[in-house]
Amino acid sequence: MPQFANIAVSILFDGLAYAMFLFIVSVGLSVTMGLMGFVNLAHGAFAMAGGYVVVSLTRNLGLGLIPSLIISAIVVGAVSVFFERGLYRRLYKATDLEQVMMTIGLAFMAIATATYFYGPIPKSVPLPQWLQGDVNLGFRTFPSYRAFLIAVGAVLIAVLWYGFERTNIGAKIRAAVDNRRMAESVGINVDLLFTLTFAVGSGLAALGGGLAIQLLGLSPSFAVIYLVLFLIVVAVGGLGSLKGTLLAALVLGIFDTAGKYLFADAGGFFIYAVTVAVLLVKPAGFYGREQ
């Protein structure tokens, strides 16, 4: 097929895969920030933790990748509840600055801890045979793992969408994000909701971290080096908006890929240029509430 079409397909496909990773990790951050206005800079640390759990499960216990990913998401999600109850809870009413300071502190501690247990050398996980190499979709071939990543993303989106738009809890969360006081006054237990979303968000982050090993490798500093990326997705998407986070992930993922592909020299530029462009026009992000 013609070159330009081929290029376009490559960009869309790779961008889509990248976008899925961004979405999976960022969505939890977006909802928790939207719900409680809680700035959680330790979110990346949960992703990193998830990654290492997967490493342990696959390498030391010899589990398959898929079960490991699921277990890791659940484990990290569960553990995150303790942090939420023990530490985060104390800072709901606190200022952003205090939240920033504590969560950055947690991220630092997470990095040191991971270094202690896993060492600084980047880890990777063995892939099952069917995820190696590439799949042929007739008109051209695509890397299997990325196809898999996209599939996982699609499934998650479906599940989240259902949970968010169709279930009672989802409705409550949306209500709380929209107007917390109101929600509380009609008897919604926002704190409980937050614990829930926090756990789910952290679990998703962990899943994202696990999936990212194949993409970006995994070392302790994973906890912070991609944080900016996640925050950008959240800001561009709009706090607490599932739709927004998805759209932002897609736009940023695809633009970033296109930029790297077409204008490698200015590669780093694009994602930020897009961010600025969007925020200047829509300060609250794609689907955020204007203040």
Q: Segment 23-62, which members bind another protein (CB under 8 A)?
A: 33, 39
The correct pick among 64, 67, 126, 128 for binding another protein (CB under 8 A) is 126
Query: Helix, strand or coil for residue 218?
Result: strand
- Please count the residues of this chain forming the interface with another protein, following the rule CB under 8 A: 85
- Nearest distance from residue 169's CB to another protein, in Å? 25
Among 210, 204, 211, CA closest to 156: 204
Is 234 within 8 Å of 250 (Cβ atoms)? no
Spatial distance between the Cα atoms of 99 and 91, rounded to a whole number of angstroms: 7
The correct pick among 90, 130, 182, 192 for binding another protein (CB under 8 A) is 90
Task: Mention every residue, 6+ apart, whose C-beta is less than 8 A from residue 121.
Answer: 219
- Nearest distance from residue 199's CB to another protein, in Å? 20
- Tell me 123's DSSP state: B
Q: Which is nearer to another protein, 98 or 178 (CB)?
A: 98
- Nearest distance from residue 102's CB to another protein, in Å? 4
- Nearest distance from residue 224's CB to another protein, in Å? 8
Is 183 within 8 Å of 176 (Cβ atoms)? yes
Q: Which is nearer to another protein, 67 or 119 (CB)?
A: 119
Q: Within 10 A of 8 (CB to CB), how many other CB atoms are there? A: 13
Is 131 within 8 Å of 143 (Cβ atoms)? no
233-263 burial, b for 16+ CB within 10 Å, e for fewer? Answer: bbbbbbbbbbebbbbbbbbbbbbbbbbbeee
- Nearest distance from residue 167's CB to another protein, in Å? 27
Per CB under 8 A, 128 contacts another protein = no
Using CB under 8 A as the binding rule, the residues of this chain from 146 to 165 that contact another protein are 146
The correct pick among 1, 112, 186, 281 for binding another protein (CB under 8 A) is 112
Spatial distance between the Cα atoms of 73 and 46, rounded to a whole number of angstroms: 10
Q: Which is nearer to another protein, 39 or 196 (CB)?
A: 39
- Nearest distance from residue 240's CB to another protein, in Å? 11
Phi, psi of 143 (to 5 degrees): -60, 130
Per CB under 8 A, 115 contacts another protein = yes
Question: At 50, which amino acid appears?
Answer: G
Joined together, the tokens standing for residue 227 give 């944080």
Q: Which is nearer to another protein, 10 or 56 (CB)?
A: 10
Using CB under 8 A as the binding rule, the residues of this chain from 154 to 213 that contact another protein are none
Stretch that binds another protein, among 63-71, 89-97, 186-194, 200-208 (CB under 8 A): 89-97
The correct pick among 64, 67, 120, 128 for binding another protein (CB under 8 A) is 120
Per CB under 8 A, 279 contacts another protein = yes
Is 19 within 8 Å of 254 (Cβ atoms)? yes
- Nearest distance from residue 208's CB to another protein, in Å? 13
Among 263, 222, 253, CA closest to 51: 222
The correct pick among 203, 210, 220, 240 for binding another protein (CB under 8 A) is 220
Per CB under 8 A, 87 contacts another protein = yes
Spatial distance between the Cα atoms of 105 and 186, rounded to a whole number of angstroms: 36
Per CB under 8 A, 1 contacts another protein = no
